[in-house]
Structure 1
Amino acid sequence: MTRPSISSTAPARQRAIVIGGSLAGTLAAAALREVVDEVLIIENDELPAVPGPRKGLPQASHAHMFWSSGVRAAEALLPGVTDRWTAAGANRIPIPTGMVGFTPEGWLRRWTAETAFLIACSRDVLDHAVRDLVLADTRVTVRQHTRVEGLIGTAARVTGVRTRAADGRETDLEADFVVDASGRGSRTPRYLAELGVRPAPERSLDLGLTYASRVFRAPGGTAGFPMVVVQSDPRTARPGQSASILPIEHGQWIVTTAGTRGGEPTARNEDFEPFARGLRHPVIGEIISDLEPLTDVTVNRSTRNTRRHFENVGNWPERFVVLGDALAAFNPIYGHAMSVAAQAALVLRDLAAADGIDAPRLARRVQKAMAKPVAAAWDLALGHDVFYPGAQGSAQSTPTRKDKVLSAYTYRLLSTCCGNSTMTRDFFDVTSLQAPLTTLVRPRVLLGALRGPLRPPLTEPPLTDRELALVRTTGPN
């Protein structure tokens, strides 16, 4: 008698490929590692083994603000990452307590109740902690010095990527799921066109914004020093110029200046402090006047607002998702890009974990869900940027009547925040992406704006006596 055979075939292993090994890409890998057997990150650069710069991230030398909304999303994806950042010297800056901010409506008060917070460190430290945790998982590997040249599959489903190694060798890599997190230079629109997918609507707004940054040694004894920000005022019909001091690791400060078209900072060291002194308030120039510079000035001009509406593509292919700057790139002055990328990666994890990567229309549902945090940051950015002279792009580049009404209301809110702690909390809940934009039109907020500030405006930066003494007398270590 013949016994029936018992199949010993193991279930097929599932692989995800992530294009790009920067913050968005490594967070996407963290999101997928629980739902597939292996995740392969394809990276064109060499990723440093210790915190350090890399060729494909030229903006790393500028100030980066990681808002609490993004930090919490990153922590959900990578438990313990916040402790890694702080162990490496990152500062947790409570908002508004830890911020000295000069808005278009005046100085914000440093209310004691924390509304939001920032993780402040160099981009090198930020990325390394995430990358270190992700690559410690044996399910995640990275292939460096490799460029993705196209997608494999059809308009109905992506099945992998076509790659080229540094030696020119081309390889097709199959995958059960593909994520593009390759940044501003993403070639996904071209890749999708090659597969026969119809183009996504795309909007852009370019202010001609230029960033110039320099790292200084902080004065001795300034641990816990606040972030200092001097904002521009779009209502002046002049180029927007601004600056910030961001305390980072190892007793250093990143000082970043910025200017829109016609008011750009230069790359010359001798121009850096005068530019900061020439802003709407000279406080940042005054603070850095006696500090020891640790670097020369570095400049970045890749600051265009760009949004690709992949969520509106009706025939979106299965098993393919786009996130990070490849999906939407923002004016860096608002510090939203990293938080939006982290929130999008969390959306990917939750939907993929709930249904599995082979669930029908999963990629389309993920893309639509990601559009929510993207839209929040986009609306906040364009609501201000459209007012700067010389704005160019496919998005509305001249203010409409609606823009003007909303702008006037926003400035009324800002004026109220300068003298009202409750309104400040509501405002930063929204600008930190912890709450939707609709928060600002709730009846309580509308009534608060109608009443206006409860305290008179401040006439000087709200630095404490100790902080003033440190920056006036200590000088560099």
Structure 2
Amino acid sequence: MLARHTDSVTIVERDRLPDGPADRKGTPQARHTHVLVSGGARALDQLLPGTTQALLDHGAQYIGTPNRLLVLMSRGWLGRFEEMQFIIGCSRPLLDWVIRRRVFTEDRITVRQATDAVGLLGDGHRVTGVRVRDRQTGRTSHIEADFVVDATGQGSDAGTWLTDLGLPAPAEQHIDPQVFYSSRIYQAPSTAGDDFPEINIMSDPTRTDYVKAGVLVPIENRQWIVTLVGSRDHQPPTDETGFAGYARSLRHPVIADLIDTAKPLTPPRGFRIPGNRRRHFDLATWPQGFVVLGDAACTFNPIYGHGMAIAARSALALDTGLRRYGPHDDTGRIQRDIVHTADVAWDMATRQDLRYPTTIGPSPGALARLQQRFLDRLAWAATGSRTVAAAQLDVYTLSEPPSRLLAPSVILGILLGPRQPARTEPPLTSDEQPALPTPSD
């Protein structure tokens, strides 16, 4: 996107980038489940036209929702209605590789690999470049720049860099549900079709005071990535026997049944989720020529699948701001617009996480509790109402604003509730049932 506005773009990259879709040290969460919701996929295609199709061409899975997404919510399984939105399921290394290949076809973009950004040049009025350090030699040098973007992720030092320029430190919110992941990749059994659905067993805060969930996502090469989620006192194990046992202890055993028929390709790998953290970079005093976006500005509990989508939408907000204001004036206004792209995802993640008493963060107020009762009723109605399910998925996939939930037809559906009893079993089709073990197994 920056190449649309300038003659030269330099990416400062801490890793040495692999030639293909491979793990790298700078993405420690890459071995766990990643999904790109449709609102993020559309934003990515605006930045790099054709990227979604390129991912699919390399084996990524197009998961229509809810026709190819089975979700166990608090009061039963979501109805398997016709496609309303979609999710792209693939490994993180494949996603990174496909995007890198497309970005690097632009001649104006160069990469300084194995290099750390360690500070900003300039002063509190204007940023004029970046101070960098070579990871191999330890030598520091300066890169002069008209415009600097911090996209260094959740480990960003932007707050310190700003105070070094004499500016106030940004305020920070941290809401931490103390969540742990354990993930494993499997080869799907031959009995599972190429369009086997994603399965999401959600944690239920109405019945337990701790997080316990699991998800099975089809990815490239006929593989499944399975991630188990738990809070501090209920951490999913990273040994083979413990992993299988934890999967079976979820609210429904379907994921455990399915991995019993699949071939494990990796050992279970654990990861501590840093929680939700938002740095308020929308300061009254902001230097020209500098913005912060993506996880460097706002990090979400990844169980909700919004991080990559917000990163893409942040880049679009930056593009809009540069077109409107240019790179030298009103950078503070561009930064505020970037901050607001995360509002909906932040509200969804933190509102849910704050329902658990083990979460580190402020206690929900009366308004938040009222909103949550409304959303509980909405989730219940969505299990049997196409109208309500469509609205819920539109908002969840960041395709529509939350006001979509207040449409008269949606409110009516919420008031009426589902017209059928709750589904206690996942709505697998007759073609999908053979992937489960038979009783003799």
State if a TM-score over 0.5 links the two structures: yes
Deviations 1:10-53 (A, max 9, x none): xxxxxxxxxxxxxxxxxxxxx10110001100011111111100
Distance 2:380 2:42 in 1: 29
- State the match for 1:240 in structure 2: 211
User: SS at the partner of 1:133?
Assistant: helix
In structure 2, distance between residues paired with 1:452 and 1:334: 24
Root-mean-square deviation (Å): 1.6
Q: Are the counterparts in 2 of residues 205 and 306 from structure 1 also a CA contact under 8 Å?
A: yes
1:12-51 to structure 2, matched below 5 A, reads 31-51=1-21
Indicate whether 1:260 and 2:228 are aligned.
Answer: no
Aligned 1:170-319 pairs, distance under 5 A? 170-220=140-190, 221-311=192-282, 313-319=283-289
1:254-283 Cα shifts (integer Å, max 9, x gaps): 000000121111211211111011011111
Which SS does the other structure have where 2:173 is aligned? strand
1:101 pairs, out of 47, 64, 71, with 71
Q: State the secondary structure of the residue aligned to 1:92.
A: strand
Cα deviations by residue, 1:366-412 (Å, 9 ceiling, x for unpaired): 2111222201000001111001121114xx2x232222211111111
Q: Which moved more, 1:215-224 or 1:90-99?
A: 215-224
What number of residue pairs does the alignment pair up?
439
The one-letter code of the counterpart of 1:122 is S
Q: How does 1:402-441 map to 2 (within 5 A)?
A: 402-441=367-406
Aligned partner of 2:108 in structure 1 is 139
- Once the two structures are superposed, residues 303-333 of structure 1 have per-residue CA deviations (whole angstroms, 9 ceiling, x without a partner) of 310001112x001111101011000000000
Determine the C-alpha separation between the residues in 1 that align with 2:250 and 2:2: 45
Instruction: Report deviation, 1:444.
Output: 3.0
1:237 Cα shift? 4.0
The one of 417, 422, 430 aligned to 1:452: 417
The Cα shift of 1:219 comes to: 1.1
Identity %: 41
Name the stretch that deviates more: 369-378 or 89-98: 369-378
Structure 1 portions without partners, runs of 5+ = 1-30
Task: Give the counterpart of 1:74 among 35, 38, 44.
Answer: 44
Cα separation, 2, equivalents of 1:236 and 1:101: 17
Task: Output the amino acid matched with 1:443.
Answer: P
Cross-structure match for 1:11: none
Corresponding position of 1:14: none
Provide the residue aligned with 2:301 in structure 1: 331
Q: Which blocks of at least 5 consecutive residues in structure 2 are unaligned?
A: none
Q: Distance in 1 between matches of 2:206 and 2:163?
A: 41
Q: Is the partner of 1:310 in helix, strand or coil?
A: coil
Aligned equivalent of 2:310: 340
Do the aligned partners of 1:162 and 1:170 also contact (CA within 8 Å) in 2? yes
**1:151 partner letter:** L
- Partner letter of residue 384 of structure 1? Q
SS at match of 2:16: coil
* CA distance in 2: counterparts of 1:430 and 1:60, whole angstroms: 26
Specify the SS of the correspondent of 1:223.
Answer: coil
Aligned counterpart, 2:353: 385
Distance in 2 of aligned mates of 1:270 and 1:154: 56
Mapped to 1, the partners of 2:73 and 2:341 lie a distance apart of 24
**Secondary structure of 2:398's aligned partner:** coil
Name whichever of 259-268 and 66-75 sits farther off. 259-268
- Worse-matched range after superposition: 419-428 or 216-225: 216-225
Corresponding letter in the other structure for 1:235:
T
Question: SS state of the match for residue 119, structure 2?
Answer: strand
Normalising to structure 2: TM-score of the pair?
0.97
Q: Residue by residue, what CA displacement relative to the aligned partner does 1:42-99 show, whole Å, maximum 9, x if unpaired?
A: 0111111111000011111111110011111110110121121011100111011111
Question: Is the 1:237–1:389 contact (alpha carbons within 8 Å) kept by the matching residues of 2?
Answer: no
State whether residues 209 and 358 of structure 2, in contact with CA within 8 Å, keep that contact through their aligned partners in structure 1.
no
Selected match of 1:150 from 104, 109, 119: 119
How far 1:442 sits from its partner (Å)? Answer: 3.3
Q: Secondary structure, in 3 states, of the residue corresponding to 1:296? A: coil
Partner SS for 1:101: strand
Note if contact 2:297-2:339 (Cα within 8 Å) is conserved in structure 1: no
Question: Could you say what secondary structure the match of 2:29 adopts?
Answer: helix
Q: Secondary structure at the match of 2:356?
A: coil
Q: Contact conserved, 1:151 with 1:162, CA < 8 A, in 2?
A: yes
> 8 Å contact 1:43–1:142 — kept in the other structure?
yes
1:120 equivalent to 2:85? Answer no
Q: CA deviation at 1:445?
A: 2.2
Code of the aligned partner of 1:43 = E
TM normalised by structure 1 equals: 0.90
Q: 3-state SS of the aligned residue for 1:197? A: coil
Report the alpha carbon displacement of residue 452 of structure 1 after superposing the two structures with TM: 1.0
